[in-house]
């Protein structure tokens, strides 16, 4: 079957400025997420990838929410998931609720980390986790807008949205399975608003620039998850200009490090990249660029930005002028 509706990627859209704005300076705009009147973070998560290991506190100190990857041993993650979001395989997530060896009345942070978030089993496991212990629960990834409502009904707090777009991911290239980002986020945001849903949208994968992140927020994402952009940021113990290996978490080497005995055909790849900037310098720019975008859209808060920003589809020539300078 062929559906004839055209779907759009981030490069197919621009954010249209408001007709007028009462904001005189971008300093009036607030780019932070809050819980109970307390600053939590920028609207940013790290991807659950190798570069996060051991650096969780530094990301938190820079107002980015880290996720501990599955390459950290399972028993170690069980000691960390009361402090940080930790990624767990479906089998590990089942172990958490079947044999809880922790204080079930304390808050924990769980990401069920699988590639195909359309699997009914992930949603069922999430329900059981929510019934067993206190947690903030994240799921995904999904590539069909309607799947969002299944996760929301199941009680998930966050949902990763996007399939195959990450720098280390080959899913879309090899399988032909995808749902272009701009359409996916916009349609899910419409569902969320129409149904007064609580599950927060995380745009995940394939962010190549500040504008990609800002467009996702304008389309209605609550957060954006970044892998390569943060991996290329030099942390306190690293030096700008040094090379490193960056890999997708479905590569065979990553599968081995996650304890898999039967290796699957890889839907990821390994790249050699360079540390291009410090984390603090990247975030300083991000802070300024996001505030400026908000000011153009007469938005003092992120909530206003999501509600007021208007995204417009543009021609291929216009996209080239904007995105390929």
- For the residues of 295-312, what is the DSSP string, one character each? HHTT-SSHHHHHHH-EEE
User: Could you give the CA distance from residue 289 to residue 283 in angstroms, rounded to a whole number?
Assistant: 10
- For the residues of 65-87, what is the DSSP string, one character each? B-EE-TTS-HHHHHHHTTTSEEE
The token duo for 91 is: 């089998």
Give the domain CATH number at 124: 3.20.20.70
Q: How many domains does the chain have?
A: 1
In a domain, 77, yes or no: yes
Instruction: Quickly count: other Cβ atoms within 10 Å of residue 259's Cβ.
Output: 12
270-323 pLDDT per residue, tens:
778 999 999 999 999 999 999 999 999 999 999 999 999 999 999 999 999 988
**What is the four-CA torsion angle of 44, 48, 52, 56, rounded to 10 degrees?**
60
In a domain, 56, yes or no: yes
Q: pLDDT tens for the chain, 325 residues: list them.
A: 888 899 999 999 999 999 999 999 999 999 999 886 677 899 999 999 999 999 999 999 999 999 999 999 999 999 999 999 999 999 999 999 999 999 999 999 999 999 899 999 999 999 999 999 999 999 989 999 999 999 999 999 999 999 876 555 666 667 677 889 999 999 999 999 999 999 999 999 889 999 999 999 999 999 999 999 999 999 998 999 999 988 665 554 655 666 666 656 555 667 789 999 999 999 999 999 999 999 999 999 999 999 999 999 999 999 999 888 6
The token duo for 207 is: 């962010």
In a domain, 262, yes or no: no
**Cα–Cα distances in Å, from 258 out to 108, 181, 233?**
21, 29, 24
Instruction: Quickly count: other Cβ atoms within 10 Å of residue 120's Cβ.
Output: 8
Check if the beta carbon of residue 63 is closer than 8 Å to that of residue 282.
no
In a domain, 160, yes or no: yes
Q: Can you tell me whether residue 41 is helix, strand or coil?
A: strand
DSSP strand pairing (38-41 vs 33-35) = antiparallel
In a domain, 149, yes or no: yes
pTM attached to this predicted model: 0.93
Q: Among 36, 138, 162, which Cα is nearest to 84's?
A: 138
248-276 pLDDT per residue, tens:
655 546 556 666 666 565 556 677 899 99
In a domain, 21, yes or no: no
In a domain, 251, yes or no: no
- Residue 146 belongs to what domain range? 29-232+284-313
Q: Among 129, 127, 76, which Cα is nearest to 107's?
A: 129
In a domain, 62, yes or no: yes
């Amino acid at each position: 079957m062929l559906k004839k509706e055209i779907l759009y990627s981030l490069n197919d859209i621009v954010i249209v400025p408001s007709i007028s704005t009462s904001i005189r300076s971008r300093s009036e705009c607030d780019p932070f997420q809050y819980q109970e009147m307390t600053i939590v973070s920028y609207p940013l998560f790290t991807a659950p990838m190798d570069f996060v290991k051991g650096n969780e506190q530094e990301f938190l100190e820079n107002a980015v929410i880290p996720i501990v990857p599955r390459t950290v041993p399972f028993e170690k993650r069980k000691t960390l998931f009361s402090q940080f979001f930790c990624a767990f395989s479906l089998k590990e997530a089942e172990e958490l609720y079947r044999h809880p060896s922790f204080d079930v009345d304390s808050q924990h942070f769980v990401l069920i980390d699988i590639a195909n978030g359309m699997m009914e089993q992930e949603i069922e496991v999430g329900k059981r986790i929510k019934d067993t212990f206190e947690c903030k629960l994240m799921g995904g990834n999904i590539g069909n807008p309607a799947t969002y409502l299944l996760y929301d009904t199941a009680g998930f707090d966050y949902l990763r949205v996007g399939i195959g777009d990450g720098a280390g991911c080959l899913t879309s290239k090899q399988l032909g399975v995808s749902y272009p980002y701009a359409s996916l986020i916009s349609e899910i945001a419409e569902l969320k608003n129409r149904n007064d849903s609580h599950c927060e949208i995380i745009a995940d994968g394939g962010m190549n620039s500040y504008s990609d992140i800002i467009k996702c927020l304008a389309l209605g994402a609550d957060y954006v998850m970044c892998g390569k952009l943060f991996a290329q940021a030099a942390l306190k113990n690293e030096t700008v200009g040094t090379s490193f290996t960056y890999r997708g978490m479905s590569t065979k080497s990553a599968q081995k490090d996650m304890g898999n005995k039967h290796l699957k055909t890889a839907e990821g790849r390994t790249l050699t990249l360079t540390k291009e900037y410090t984390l603090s310098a990247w975030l300083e720019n991000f802070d300024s660029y996001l505030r400026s975008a908000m000011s153009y859209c007469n938005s003092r808060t992120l909530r206003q930005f999501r509600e007021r920003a208007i995204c417009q589809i543009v021609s291929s020539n216009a996209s080239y002028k904007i995105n390929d300078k």
